[in-house]
Structure 1
Amino acid sequence: MQLLAGLERLLARVGKRVLHVEQGVGVVTVEVSSTVRAAPCTVCRRWSDRVHGGFVRYLAERPVLDQRLVLAVEMRRFKCSDVGCARRTFAESITSLAGRHQRRTHSQSRALQALGHALGGEAAARLAAALGLCTSADTVLRQLRRTDIRRRRYKPRIVGIDDWAIARGHNYGTIIVDLERREPIEVLVGREASAVTQWLRRNPSIEIVARDRAGAYSEAVNIALPHAQQVSDRWHLLSNLRDNVERMLQRMGSQMREAARRVVVTEPTHGRQGRREGPRLAWWQRLSDDRRSIRLALYDSVTKLHTQGRTMKSIAGELDISYQTVRKFVHTGSFPERARKARGHTPLDAHLQYIEERIAQGSRNPLMIWREVRQRGYSGSRASVKACVVRLLFPQGKPALVDSEPTARTMPCPSARRAFGWLVGWRKLAVEEPKNANHERFVQALCDIEPVVAQVRSLSRQFLGIMHRRRPSEFDRWLTQLSRCEAPEMKSFARSLQADLPAVRAAFQLSWSNGQTEGHVNRLKFLKRQMYGRGSVELLRLRVLRPT
């Protein structure tokens, strides 16, 4: 009844009333009669009450209780009372309920548009069918293209500009975000200065533009809005610093390898590695020992409970094991060891007796035994011989020997990116890699070999501190020191900062950055991939600039 009352209020706005409700198989049809006595002409706008005839218009509404809802609306046609009017007859207007020539109400159209904005064409059509909205992917896209991207009533003041890839390496676009309202306001095709310049000229109210270090956007702002304040993105400044330092480290490959050789590793350098205590076991030995210890603890619990007078059934229920396992543990006088798994035939089986004899003679060197069996015709790997020797020595409690085990282990040469993190103290490169003394010793050795590295390290740390504290005065002194650095990569970085000096200084003074824009670029990429790269840029723009 409430649903019917709401429908009657909606129909009363266009001069209609509910006459009859007919329920069919999966469809509810509501017959609606007209109460309009007069209507204005659609051409001359002159009112007329001369009824010419009528017809029935069927409109699809949102489904109700998993049933389609169809409105059979009676429409009246009137004769125009103006003899000079070009239109002789016209139908009454119900634009507040449905558009001209439409077979669905505005309510269902808005639902299809919302599905199209969220999912696109095919996915929206599949979801609409599950919700009871009979439609196709093409219809969803047509409804989406009819969406009115309302003209902004406000004038943007602070915007962020960034590029995005239509096809990486070939075509690019530009997205513009209102940083105050935190919403995208335009999506352009191309990232050239000409395309952005035309849009900026149509929006002279812009006062601040946050951008990356790309020169095209800077040129567009200088041409269209010379009075606007440009702000260079702080993350891109740090990224430029890292790129230049990494290029310097890549150029010093031989020096980095020499510095790594000078560092004697006293603890694990990469990843989580446990310290050795005694001879290290093979993986199959550690796994076998762990499983045996679990079974032994279970066996001890069963025997302890059984000596206390507990029944085997109650023991099985308490320990959550099978009754057969409890009975086997109770009836055996000692811990039942598992039988060794039978191995298949291997090329080493023909030489197994010889290996056992050599071990009995006291030889425990896998490399020496491998060379001997090679002379006897063995063509397998040295690792197989070593695993065999370790397996035969394991019951005796003796470890295998190595010919020349190094007394000191040196650090492997790190990559340029990892070395940059050690150099400037850029933490959180990897969660599993804590800072340790080996990293600092490597940096000190590299600074001793190349003194310019120490200078670059000091400048990089100063830049991180200035960026964190936002002190423009300290930045000017730091830029002077950077331009005097002996490393050519840092001199190039200093020249790029001086060429964009007003925008770089603004990054230390203002709180605006391109972080919001990068987030909207991420959302744009998600929508583009959701359309499998087949949708047009026009459709992508409609989905990105969804009206609120």
Structure 2
Amino acid sequence: MPLELSDDQARLLTVLFPQLNCLRLEQIEDVGSGLRILVRTGTELVACHRCGTASSRVHDRYWRRLDDLACGGRPVEIQLEVRRFRCDAPCCPVATFAEQVPLRLVRALPDPPVGQILVLGVDDFAKRKGHAYASLLVDMDTHRLVDLLPDREADTFAHWLRAHPGAQVVCRDRAGAFAAGARQGAPEAIQVADRFYLWQSLGEAVEKTVIAHRADLHDPAPEPDPLPGPVHQEQGEPDPSCAQATDQTTEDVPKEMSDGFRDILGRERRLVIRHTERYEAVQALQAEGCSLAEIGRRLRLSRDAVRRFARATSLEEVLFKATHRASILDPFKPYLNQRWNDGATNATALHTELQTQGWAGDVQAVRRYLNQFRPADGRARAANTSRVRPTAPTAPAPPKPRRVVRWLMTRPDHLSSTDAIHLQRILERSPGLAATARHVRAFAQR
């Protein structure tokens, strides 16, 4: 149990253990067979050992178990909290560094024995993302790190389970390697999914549901006002000459495509063409029996991209996700649309205007967005003044599907008032999404 020390007792402890003079004593615990002393460093600024830049930004903490001589015939264990800091120097090759303390010279205790673990958790982590991975094992009852495995292969995990029998439950992610390793090394153990991955799987299912009901994300369009024009007093019908003039005026004005697959001029977006080609290529190779790794090598795609194209239920699902991603330009699009309709079509000038409103992006993002409103050659046609310039949409864009998913997956009392109102309007228009919201909340309360 923890022991409270007075100031005099703390000073006496530093006399008995002079190596603790430069550290801050936090607590002493009587663990029966000995004493455990918890200490931390007291410095707020630590210099990077590569460039010398002082930093106070703590990235992570971890404990080191150290031993010392016996005190009063009882063994003493010193647990030191070591911090990792972030180096803010832009030219420094080190992103994080650990603080250096004198107790690093003290001999470290060997790792405690694993013992019998009833509920074992396993997950992988990246040593070098995309290249090298390892696995960590955790005792889910005590939340104690048990061991590290050099890779995430099924044979490695199975060998560890056979060497440490007794696991009754294996809590894992959705990776097939851990499932196979658990079947080989602990066939009698029950395999369960970690809560994080259950929630992640639910989020993916909710996203597919939102995409299937994407038409309900749009606010209902108001009834159009009748076209002005002379009306025949006897018959109450519009003047045919006025209607003909209206048709000639709007003949060259393209309609905006609501699905996002084409730009405002009706041209198929390059993003759509690229994703269509990749989806068809991945599906064809998968039908031939190629593995995801082989498909990635042939098409030179990342593992996540291949998995995304392979798991998609349809091309429309892939295209919708690709064309409805959130963008940092989204808050400024209504202003750009209005300025375009006012006749301001110069991307550089509009970029300057956005900077006064807090825009921190580059001009290329503005130019790419405005290109969808330009003619096929991307330039204004000064010679053809009779051609009407396409108008940008002025109605507010519907929320992105992933934003709606975030609303559905967030506790109602944690939503802002604005988000709660938007979500409530969507649920009132969509019985399917309303049922989804009820299922999500019921699952979260279990």
TM-score, length-scaled by structure 1: 0.32
Higher relative contact order structure (alpha carbons within 8 Å, sequence separation ≥ 6): 1
Bigger proportion of residues as helix: 1
